[in-house]
Structure 1
Amino acid sequence: MSANVENSIFNLSSLKSCNKSYIKKTRKGKIRKVSNEIYVRNEILCGVNFCDLCYGSYPDVCKSKTRNIIFPNFDILNNYDDFILEDESLSHVIIPYSMLEYLNETDRMFINKLRNKIKNLKELPILREELELFNENKSIDYYSNQYIRFPDTQFTETYIDESIVKFNLKDCAGNSIIKVATWFINHLSKCDTNIRFFILTESEEWIKKFNSHFSFVSKCLILSPYEYVNYVSNEYINSGDKLPFKKSLIEYGNQQENNYIFPEYATDKEISLGIDRGFLFKGILRMISRNRGEVEVLNKERKMTINIIGHLNLNRSIDGDFVVVKLDETLNCDEQNLKSHIKSKLELEQIEDLECNEVAGIGSILLGDDDYDENSALNIQNTKIKNTETENYSSITFSEDPNITGRIVGVLNRNWGEYCGSLIPISSSDDRFNVCNNTSTRQHRIFVPIDPKIPRIIIHTKLSSTLENQRLVVVIDEWECSSFYPTGHIVGILGKAGNLETETSVILRIRDINSSEFSPSVLKCLPNHGRGNDWKPNEIDLKDRVDLRHKLVFSVDPPGCKDIDDALSIELIKPESENSEENWYHVSVHIADVTHFVKPNTSIDDEASRRSTTCYLVNKRIDMLPEELTTNICSLVANKDRLSFTCNWEINENAEIRNVYFNKTIINSKFSFTYLQAQNIIDDSCNQSEVAISLRRLMKISQVLRKNRIARGAIELASSEVKVDYEESRNLYQDLNNIQDLDNEQISSVVLNVKSVSSYNYLNTNSMVEEFMLLANVSVAKQIISTFPNCCLLRRHPEPKYDQLEKLKNVLSKVGINNFVYENSLSLSNSLRNILDSEVVKENPIIGKLVRIMTTRTMNQAVYFTTCKSVEGTFHYGLAEELYTHFTSPIRRYADIVVHRLLSASIGLEPLNEIMFNKDYMFKLSNTLNKNKRNAQMAGRDSTKLFIYLFCKQNGNQETEGIIIQVRDDSLLIFVPKFGFEGLAAIDKSKYTFDADIPCLRNREKETDTLKLFSKVKVSIFASDEYFQNKVIINIIPDK
């Protein structure tokens, strides 16, 4: 907590000036002394809501309640933040500024959590001069738990004089507890209330220090969190539920410490020696399923992928852990040695069989978008698949490699996070059923994460019966050698499983999407804040703008679009000569001028940069900016004056450009078309209106632009994008799991009714708009890099995974497609077009789309990058463009806001914010944009899967035709044209033999029954909610 910020509200003339200094270690490991001038005052308010000395009398009903004043030491704040911020018994938590200064250097995560916790709480004023203003505008909340940030460094009775005692930052934090607790004990003892004081720590050193000061104070106890919970358990039966479970408190099962299931990790010395000698390797573990993962390591400056197969070899590691791996000289060469550690081989096999039946409930839907995504396969699972049932088909593996195998012998850094899921239900026949429903004793339960790559987690809770059928958020605390599963604790309850709002909250939580309301400080940045009237541009808004309100401008968007970023216009340029046969046009792309309202170094800009992108779910939109901007002030809606940033070209019918320029404009869009409406106008030859002629001209030029792009090597890829059509009732019955219990009349009137699921149908107008948006993005990229070559934000698409393209080529050749070439983007683009002429595709045209989908899976993901730190070039492989950026969607993408500022500065309209010249800032920003864009894409796909599940739940078993797009020894990946998604179907291995060379599956009893790539099969599709996983299952219907 910066002292300088607080000093601004003091009357400096009445305060004593002091110097505060401390020693700190920088992130680079250097030691430096930090000194601040602070002002210390003689009087301060305590901030405690029941203190009648500071805030006057309070309701009598509150006086009988025992108040717990908690002073957590830094070790408790570091290790038990969930407990400190959420436990019901902690009615008043006091955290001195000195402690916050220490945590600001060592635990920023806690600082952020604390900030989020208290932002909606009514904090009482600490300064006497602020109290009168507070009393005029707010009332005191006597019932909520308090988190009081106490300014010990600015109060004479708690200030530690540096001229007398020298402390480092950590010691300042600990000693501030002594000073602050002493003052609070003396101060609050005068109040007419039952008060207990607790100092929480587990540090033996600080226990001794605190005892030396407070052992004589009867109402002040120095306890560990577990001792504290035990002390208050009679009053707060649920207290401690967010503490990590400790076996010393409650034994689980009859485990003995020396009965290991998993091998112990190697020591730091053994790991260091092994890495130096080259027989141990380190890398990030990427899980394919719950019992199979891969670690990519460097071996003699060569990348090598090591397969980790089985729970024992994974050795308590989870997805994203930074691990140490030992290679197996032969496949499972140490299996017998590992089994010597097993307490019960039979039990482990039972656990593995149990886990093999768990499948993904989130993240399995493929949605198309404008980028190429390494995790873009639909992955609807089948519960019958063993061992590989939860494999991520993000990059299709077309044949099995004799991959190198290994086992994990150490974990250098854990990647534990928060996981959403539900508890395995307890049946009435379970011995724990009555116990869990009739006592407040901690009971062990098994938590099943939604993410199929995360193991089940043992939790111990007093809320066992309350948590039945709930969506929970759980964190891992530890994973001992003697436990099949890690242990953890609950940090959040999202709501009833199956409830639409709950399931949506799960998606947003898993994908880390900020869906909270915008803060008052953000809303104050809006131009019409507090006025309540519709915004209209004034003279200041119109300064330096070209007035185009009289021009024919229109937008073309999906149906229901409210955040309209872009609009188009086209005018025939009067020829210079009457004999000229060539027509030139003035074509403009008008983009919402969001940066006119979102200025740098403002609250709204900071919030937009953190969110980075608007997240589109099937049934809702999570905006990057406040709705007033996105759907009104910035949105280029029809018949409203709106500010825009315009990209202009002088272009002919051959798409030759003789001039390009940019300006700020004001427009008044005359029409807001959907793609279908615009297409119908173009196709209606009887319609010769001005707007129809403009649309046809734009269409004609866009087709030439597209043809030229493809000729340069742009790749026409495809994805199985899904369209969901639904009706939403005002009076929603939102429990998805009980839909089948309602009759058809009830369903249509009281639930969200999903009417259909189908492949998205692209129109020529989709392509028309896309071409001009691409052209604008390329034009802007060239402009900004010419002016700011060292700080541009661009978008790059790396070259594809050539090993996967080679495998795809081999597989396609087995089915008669022999002209698949991929030396560069041009040859790949040409071969994808030539494939359309092959006999295989002519017989079944949908195969052409499927080949493009399969090719998409071999692509790497496009990413934002900054030219200040890029060493990988600027080429966009998919578009075959040397320079590309995002300019056309500033309402929904923060990257476009940054590019708008670059463009505005490049044409001299306003100076560039200095922070954008900072290489570290731009590099960090580009990483944030990539991460948040990826999360928003995945959240959208998760939402679509939820609605596909809902469709299947409402409509029952669906029988239709599917096409095989991947063959494995125990499963098939099937594309379902009717619904536009893909899913994994299990195969009975006892009935089929697998031929890896083709690859295909041959029926052992019926030789004519062969399942191979692009074969058509009948499938049944239905919903399953086992363990609340909301799965969509595909089964193959055998031929009769």
Structure 2
Amino acid sequence: MDKGLEKRKKIVMDFVESPMYVPMKAKELALFFNIEKERRTELDEVLKELVLEGRLEISKRGKYKKPEHRYLLGEFMANPKGFGFVRVDDRDSDIFIPSECTANAMNGDTVKVVIDIESGEKRAEGHIIGIEKHANVQIVGYYKKNNTFGFVLPDDAKLLKDIYIPAGRDKGAKTGDKVVVEITDFGDHKKKPEGKVIEVLGKNTDAGVDILSIIRAFGLPENFNDEVENELRKIPSTVLEKDKKGRLDFRDLVTVTIDGEDAKDLDDAITLERNGNIWHLGVHIADVTHYVRENTALDKEALHRATSIYLVDRVIPMLPRKLSNGICSLNQGEDRLALSCMMEIDEKGNIIGHNICESIINVNERMTYNAVNEIITDSNEVTKQRYSDYIELFNNFKLVSELLRGARTKRGSIDFDLPESKVILDKNGKAIDIKPYDRNAATKLIEDFMLAANETVAEDFFWQDLPFIYRVHENPDPEKIKSLAIFINNFGYTLRRKNDEVSPKELQKLLASIEGSDAEGVISRIALRSMKQARYDTSCIGHFGLAARYYTHFTSPIRRYPDLQIHRIIKENIRNGISDKRTEHYRAILDSVALQSSQMERRAEEAERETVKYKKCEYMLSHLGEEFDGIISGVTGFGIFVELENTVEGFIRIADLEGDYFVYNEAGYELVGEITKKKFVLGQKVRVKVYDIDRLAKRIDFKLVKEKDGRRD
């Protein structure tokens, strides 16, 4: 910190805030302070800093005065090109911040922003006047030694400045090491941030350092503290007889779990029976709250984590494995405590009755998605013979799931069936293959049953008017829907809107009309980008994507804290009702629980995406120079993104598009050649060559390939 500058700022502000002050120009202030002409630059620097901090503002006549405007608090989202945006709660769109107006803010910082330009047609523009809270106290990056000092290049491309490391503060790091840096001085517009190395992770090329770097960068927890471990020792490994009392006993029902092959935290099981024309579907969820009591060390740590995180090579669980894989996991052949949602479903897929109760269950068979799909879709004789006792049950599952999905589709529920990536690793953690994740009939039927239970529970507690946490998905921004409507017109499709708003039903019709077409993938992506992000809230404002008036997360308390939280409320209400005192208690804590859960969910998703991106780069290193078919998945003013069939995405710079000068047409999501009028548009099929890979930046570069006839595909 420049102590001289701070002292001069204080002198100026003491004068400005005095009763005798009237707005003055810089020249008048210089005369007042008797500053000679050659020292005016010092005053100009002081005034500039005070304006940036929001402590002064300049009138149209160039006079300095105390600010009359009100600033907004928001999160700064930096762009690698220098500019950024500020996301402010309760605003529909972000505020654009030009590169010269960021006031040295770093990505993720909580900042004070003042809006300079705001009109109904364009995004608001503003400038940052101060930083309320720094988000990047610790940074992971690549260390480079330079004589007596060093510096660190952050892994995060949105952190635009290197971190200066003074002599003796490098912890023995060498050039090429991945390190964790603690920032000791955030610097300013003239001075780079300064820090010290607190951990050397290893060489960038060492096995495991890639994922470890991401874990450190996102501040993901790896171990549970001693207090949690002490509480774990008191938890039994099997269900105690005394804990079974007072519960409905469903152990005589044929019960199965259906999960992925590698899953070990099994928190949902299902049963199904028929009585006349009515189906009785049971969704049985692990009673985690029986073992994770409110305000214990286990509970506090679960809330802190808020979600399990599924990285490419490991799971960072919300709860210790003794619970998540043990007593709380609905393992085959073991008595387990559960919270059950028993639903009655008619022939049209309507849920006409339900009962939510504490129960005890015992799973008959631990099934996998692939095995169930082989039975209900492929009619695989070997698999059917192995599970011959359950064939009728699985076929009934399929029938009921189709009834539920049909009813949901009828009201307008949207299903974005976009491919997800599954990275295959060898025993050393190296990526050896990448495949689209297979979403089959078995995964869909489990989704259908879980959605039904989530909606049923949400509606029940909404009408009881009890404090609760809901999963909400707000209506999309009208401007984004307008852009979507314009875009799909290029493909010959239309989107009916009313006052620039769209119903889930209309989006569902659009997705149905493009199914199987060349445009399906690209239009689905643009439609998905038009949606807002789902989150947790204490107000039941509905779920746009599901076209659901009532929705919550009830079915995964092992890996999501909101589910665990509402289980407490449900059980308390079932047993004795919730007193006024407890109602006030829940109302006091649930807003912060919802916010924490939403924030940690976003962190987990970002970390998961980063590990997949890194492993995709690692995998494609062995394919440098090879050619692949792909489709254009993104178009920008700087070039085009191309996605391969295995879901790997790479970039072709606009400078590498030969034969013309290409101009970006934002409305049409296309690049257009000025002379040839040749276009590169979303969804277009192309053939590319893997040109370059930057694992540090997690970036893959492609080049367009000429076809045999000399034309580009």
Whether the TM-score (by the shorter chain) exceeds 0.5 is yes
The aligned runs of 1:179-328 (5 Å cut-off) are 264-266=49-51, 269-271=55-57, 276-277=67-68, 284-295=75-86, 307-310=96-99, 312-319=100-107, 320-325=109-114, 327=116
Task: Name the CA distance, whole Å, in 1 between partners of 2:456 and 2:495.
Answer: 35
Asked if residue 1000 in structure 1 is aligned to residue 705 in structure 2, the reply is no
Indicate how the Cα distance of structure 1 residues 605 and 1023 shifts in structure 2: closer, same or farther if over 3 A, else same: farther
Task: Name the CA distance, whole Å, in 1 between partners of 2:249 and 2:521.
Answer: 45
The aligned runs of 1:624-703 (5 Å cut-off) are 624-683=318-377, 684=379, 687=384, 689-703=388-402
Match of 2:522 in 1: 850
Which of 549, 552, 559 is the equivalent residue of 1:892?
Answer: 559
Which of 395, 410, 413 is the equivalent residue of 2:132?
Answer: 413
Point out the structure with max Rg over C-alpha.
1
For the 8 Å contact 2:143–2:178, the answer to whether it is kept is: no
Q: Deviations over 1:245-293 (max 9, x none)?
A: xxxxxxxxxxx99998995342654149778555988765432234111
For the 8 Å contact 1:970–1:987, the answer to whether it is kept is: yes
SS in 2 for 1:540: helix
Match of 1:517 in 2: 224
Which of 781, 796, 800 is the equivalent residue of 2:476?
Answer: 800
Q: Deviations over 1:359-398 (max 9, x none)?
A: xxxxxxxxxxxxxxxxxxxxxxxxxxxxxxxxxxxxxxxx
Aligned-pair distance for 1:561?
0.7
Task: Name the CA distance, whole Å, in 1 between partners of 2:75 and 2:57.
Answer: 16
Aligned-pair distance for 1:685?
8.4
Which of 622, 630, 639 is the equivalent residue of 1:962?
Answer: 630
Which of 927, 932, 938 is the equivalent residue of 2:606?
Answer: 938
Asked if residue 759 in structure 1 is aligned to residue 429 in structure 2, the reply is no
Letter in structure 1 aligned against 2:347: E
Which of 531, 548, 557 is the equivalent residue of 2:250?
Answer: 548
Task: Name the CA distance, whole Å, in 2 between partners of 1:571 and 1:468.
Answer: 65
Indicate how the Cα distance of structure 1 residues 701 and 1000 shifts in structure 2: closer, same or farther if over 3 A, else same: same
Aligned-pair distance for 1:584?
2.0
Letter in structure 2 aligned against 1:449: P
Task: Name the CA distance, whole Å, in 2 between partners of 1:594 and 1:898.
Answer: 10
The aligned runs of 1:319-338 (5 Å cut-off) are 319=107, 320-325=109-114, 327=116
SS in 1 for 2:575: coil
Task: Name the CA distance, whole Å, in 2 between partners of 1:522 and 1:914.
Answer: 29
SS in 2 for 1:524: helix
Indicate how the Cα distance of structure 1 residues 1019 and 258 shifts in structure 2: closer, same or farther if over 3 A, else same: farther
Asked if residue 1012 in structure 1 is aligned to residue 681 in structure 2, the reply is yes
Match of 2:701 in 1: 1033
Match of 1:483 in 2: 190
Letter in structure 2 aligned against 1:773: M
Matched residues, percent identical?
A: 25
Aligned-pair distance for 1:504?
2.0
Indicate how the Cα distance of structure 1 residues 667 and 711 shifts in structure 2: closer, same or farther if over 3 A, else same: same
Q: Deviations over 1:209-236 (max 9, x none)?
A: xxxxxxxxxxxxxxxxxxxxxxxxxxxx
Indicate how the Cα distance of structure 1 residues 1002 and 958 shifts in structure 2: closer, same or farther if over 3 A, else same: same
For the 8 Å contact 2:73–2:110, the answer to whether it is kept is: no
Unaligned 5+ residue runs, structure 1?
Answer: 1-255, 330-400, 427-431, 437-442, 530-534, 576-582, 729-750
For the 8 Å contact 1:654–1:701, the answer to whether it is kept is: no
Aligned-pair distance for 1:313?
3.8
Indicate how the Cα distance of structure 1 residues 277 and 831 shifts in structure 2: closer, same or farther if over 3 A, else same: same
Which of 539, 542, 545 is the equivalent residue of 1:875?
Answer: 542
Aligned-pair distance for 1:752?
2.9
Asked if residue 816 in structure 1 is aligned to residue 492 in structure 2, the reply is yes
TM-score (norm 2): 0.82
Letter in structure 2 aligned against 1:1016: K
The aligned runs of 1:434-453 (5 Å cut-off) are 436=147, 443-453=148-158
Indicate how the Cα distance of structure 1 residues 613 and 308 shifts in structure 2: closer, same or farther if over 3 A, else same: closer
Task: Name the CA distance, whole Å, in 1 between partners of 2:183 and 2:614.
Answer: 26
Which of 280, 286, 292 is the equivalent residue of 1:598?
Answer: 292
Match of 1:833 in 2: 509
Task: Name the CA distance, whole Å, in 2 between partners of 1:1000 and 1:675.
Answer: 40
Q: Please identify, of 458-467 and 540-549, the stretch whose mean Cα deviation from structure 2 is larger.
A: 458-467
The aligned runs of 1:33-182 (5 Å cut-off) are none
Asked if residue 715 in structure 1 is aligned to residue 414 in structure 2, the reply is yes
Aligned-pair distance for 1:545?
2.1
Unaligned 5+ residue runs, structure 2?
Answer: 1-40, 59-63
Task: Name the CA distance, whole Å, in 1 between partners of 2:43 and 2:446.
Answer: 67
Match of 1:778 in 2: 455
For the 8 Å contact 1:261–1:483, the answer to whether it is kept is: no
Q: Deviations over 1:153-185 (max 9, x none)?
A: xxxxxxxxxxxxxxxxxxxxxxxxxxxxxxxxx
Indicate how the Cα distance of structure 1 residues 727 and 258 shifts in structure 2: closer, same or farther if over 3 A, else same: farther
Whose relative contact order is higher, 1 or 2, with alpha carbons under 8 Å and at least 6 apart?
1
SS in 2 for 1:1021: strand
Q: Deviations over 1:918-973 (max 9, x none)?
A: 43322212111111122112222122122212212344444212212332332113
For the 8 Å contact 1:537–1:642, the answer to whether it is kept is: yes
Aligned-pair distance for 1:444?
3.3
For the 8 Å contact 1:719–1:852, the answer to whether it is kept is: yes
TM-score (norm 1): 0.57
Match of 1:612 in 2: 306
Letter in structure 1 aligned against 2:670: C
Indicate how the Cα distance of structure 1 residues 595 and 1014 shifts in structure 2: closer, same or farther if over 3 A, else same: same
For the 8 Å contact 2:416–2:524, the answer to whether it is kept is: yes
Q: Deviations over 1:626-658 (max 9, x none)?
A: 111111211112222222221112223322333
Which of 407, 411, 425 is the equivalent residue of 1:726?
Answer: 425
Task: Name the CA distance, whole Å, in 1 between partners of 2:430 and 2:57.
Answer: 57
Which of 149, 152, 159 is the equivalent residue of 1:454?
Answer: 159
Match of 1:186 in 2: none
For the 8 Å contact 1:422–1:472, the answer to whether it is kept is: yes
Task: Name the CA distance, whole Å, in 2 between partners of 1:942 and 1:491.
Answer: 23
Which of 1021, 1024, 1030 is the equivalent residue of 2:693?
Answer: 1024
Matched residues, number: 648
Task: Name the CA distance, whole Å, in 1 between partners of 2:648 and 2:228.
Answer: 43
Task: Name the CA distance, whole Å, in 1 between partners of 2:190 and 2:475.
Answer: 44
Asked if residue 861 in structure 1 is aligned to residue 646 in structure 2, the reply is no
Match of 2:209 in 1: 502
Aligned-pair distance for 1:758?
1.9
SS in 2 for 1:780: helix
Task: Name the CA distance, whole Å, in 2 between partners of 1:569 and 1:328.
Answer: 58
Aligned-pair distance for 1:570?
0.9
Aligned-pair distance for 1:821?
4.6
Match of 1:55 in 2: none
Match of 1:902 in 2: 569
For the 8 Å contact 1:777–1:887, the answer to whether it is kept is: yes
Letter in structure 2 aligned against 1:563: D
Task: Name the CA distance, whole Å, in 1 between partners of 2:274 and 2:103.
Answer: 70
Q: Please identify, of 653-662 and 853-862, the stretch whose mean Cα deviation from structure 2 is larger.
A: 653-662
For the 8 Å contact 2:71–2:112, the answer to whether it is kept is: no
Letter in structure 1 aligned against 2:413: A
Aligned-pair distance for 1:916?
6.8
Q: Deviations over 1:430-471 (max 9, x none)?
A: xx4xxx3xxxxxx33232111112122222132556342222
For the 8 Å contact 2:280–2:345, the answer to whether it is kept is: yes
